[in-house]
Amino acid sequence: MSVLVNKDTRLLVQGITGGEGTFHTSQILEYGTNVVAGVTPGKGGVLYHGNDKDKFCRPVPVFNTVRDAVEKAEANATVIFVPAAFAADAIMEAADAGLKVIICITEGIPVNDMMKAYAFVQKKGAVLVGPNCPGVITPGEAKIGIMPGFIHKKGTIGVVSRSGTLTYEAVHQLSQVGLGQSTCIGIGGDPIIGTRFIDAIKLFANDDETEGLVMIGEIGGSAEEEAAEYISKYFKKPVVGFIAGRTAPPGRRMGHAGAIVSGGKGTAEDKIHAMEAAGIHVVDSPADLGEAMLKALGR
Domain final position from 129, 159, 175: 129
What is the DSSP secondary-structure string of 95-107?
HHTT-SEEEE---
**234 C-beta neighbours (distance < 10 Å), count:** 11
pLDDT at 221: 84
Cα angle 206, 211, 215; round to 5: 85
Residues 182 and 289 in one domain: yes
Domain shared by 181 and 41, yes or no: no
Instruction: Give catalytic residue positions.
Output: 256
Whether 162 and 68 map to the same domain: the answer is no
278 and 158 assigned to the same domain: yes
Based on the fold, state whether residues 237 and 209 are members of the same structural domain.
Answer: yes
Q: Concatenate the DSSP letters of all residues of 164-189 into one string.
A: HHHHHHHHHHHHHTT--EEEEEE---
The pLDDT of residue 57 is: 64
Question: What pLDDT shows up at residue 214?
Answer: 98
Is 43 a member of any domain?
A: yes
- Amino acid identity of residue 223, one-letter, is A
**What is this structure's pTM?**
0.92
136 belongs to a structural domain: no
**Rounded distance between C-alpha atoms, residue 249 and residue 245, angstroms:** 9
DSSP 265: B
If asked whether residues 217 and 245 sit together in one domain, one would say yes
Domain count, the chain: 2
The predicted structure's pLDDT at residue 1: 61
Sign of CA dihedral 142, 144, 150, 156: negative
109 shares a domain with 235: no
Alpha carbons within 13 angstroms on the beta-carbon side of residue 253 total 7
Query: Reduced to 3 states, what is the DSSP secondary structure of residue 53?
Result: coil
Identify the CATH number of the domain in which residue 86 sits. 3.40.50.720
Amino acid of residue 257: A
Cα–Cα distance for residue pair 130/59, rounded to 1 Å: 27
28, 160: one domain: no
Per-residue model confidence (pLDDT) at position 260: 47
Q: What is the 8-class DSSP label of residue 249?
A: P
Cα gap 18→11, rounded to integer Å: 17
The interaxial angle of helices 268-277 and 223-234, nearest 10 deg, is 0
Say how far apart CA 185 and CA 214 lie, in whole Å: 10
* Local structure of 126: helix, strand or coil: coil
- Is 5 domain-assigned? no
Q: Which amino acid does the sequence have at 129? A: V
pLDDT tens track, the chain, 299 positions? 689 999 999 999 999 999 999 999 999 999 999 999 999 999 999 999 876 555 556 789 999 999 999 999 999 999 999 999 999 999 999 999 999 999 999 999 999 999 999 999 999 999 999 999 999 999 999 999 999 999 999 999 999 999 888 999 999 999 999 999 999 999 998 989 999 999 999 999 999 999 999 999 988 888 999 999 999 999 999 999 999 877 655 555 555 444 444 444 578 898 999 999 999 999 999 999 999 999 999 98
Q: Is residue 6 part of a domain?
A: no
Domain co-membership, 117 together with 193: no
Residue 234: CATH number of its domain:
3.40.50.261
DSSP 8-state secondary structure symbol assigned to residue 65: S
Burial level of 51, CB count in 10 A (0-12/13-18/19+)?
A: middle
Q: Is residue 135 part of a domain?
A: no
Q: Distance between CA atoms of 1 and 76, rounded to whole angstroms? A: 18
Distance between CA atoms of 44 and 63, rounded to whole angstroms?
Answer: 4
Inside any domain, residue 141: no
Q: Domain span at residue 239? A: 147-296
In-domain check, residue 139:
no
Nearest alpha-carbon partner for 105 in 25, 49, 26, 48: 25
d(CA 69, CA 32): 20
How many residues are given for the chain?
299
Position 255 scores a pLDDT of: 52
Q: Domain for residue 134, yes or no?
A: no
Q: At what angle do helices 66-73 and 84-96 cross, to 10 degrees?
A: 40
Question: Do 104 and 199 fall into the same domain?
Answer: no
220 shares a domain with 110: no
> CB of 292 within 8 A of CB of 240?
yes
Q: Are residues 160 and 33 in the same domain?
A: no
Task: Round to whole Å and give the CA distance between 195 and 224.
Answer: 13
